[in-house]
Amino acid sequence: MFCLLWANVTPIDFHELTVDVIEYNQVVGADEFGQALEVKLEQLIFWSWHPTRGEFLVRDWRKWQGNRQRPRYDHQRGEWVLIFEDRGRWLTIRSTSYLKTVTTFDPEIINREKLTPDRRRRL
């Protein structure tokens, strides 16, 4: 402990979590013909399977911060891994599935009808 104080090194806060699906979602505006116009929101949505309800529910989400938040596939473990800094701590998110979607609506907001944010197991 004395060495940490002497070296002025702050311990790093790491958290490792597992979700069932990591989704990279782009919410786009559309014209009257349904053609995508511009990207309104880019986000990562973290989904977990709810066995009692038999459906996926949003666990949490984050606004996408560019390529530094891009998941990579770990061939050795057979899963997707996303590592990023979030609110002063480092998160490692592991998932067996990864989706890229483009929608004209926000799936996270739609999912609030099934599970409100105050009832989610947040990251």
- What does the pLDDT average to over 92-101? 96
Task: Give domain limits for the chain.
Answer: 15-116
- What does the pLDDT average to over 7-20? 75
Q: Are 21 and 47 in contact (CB under 8 A)?
A: yes
Which of 56, 58, 30 is closest to 44 using CA atoms?
A: 58
* Strands 21-30 and 14-18, bridge-based pairing: unpaired
- What does the pLDDT average to over 98-119? 93
Confidence of residue 15 (pLDDT cuts 50, 70, 90): confident
Q: How far apart are CA 72 and CA 93, in angstroms?
A: 11
The pLDDT value given to residue 120: 87
User: pTM higher than 0.75 for the full model?
Assistant: yes
- What does the pLDDT average to over 32-43? 82
Whether pLDDT at 96 is above 90: yes
End-to-end CA, the chain: 29
- What does the pLDDT average to over 17-45? 89
What φ, ψ does residue 117 adopt, rounded to 5°? -55, -30
Residues facing 58 on adjacent strands? 47
Which of 42, 25, 23 is closest to 97 using CA atoms?
A: 23
Confidence of residue 122 (pLDDT cuts 50, 70, 90): confident
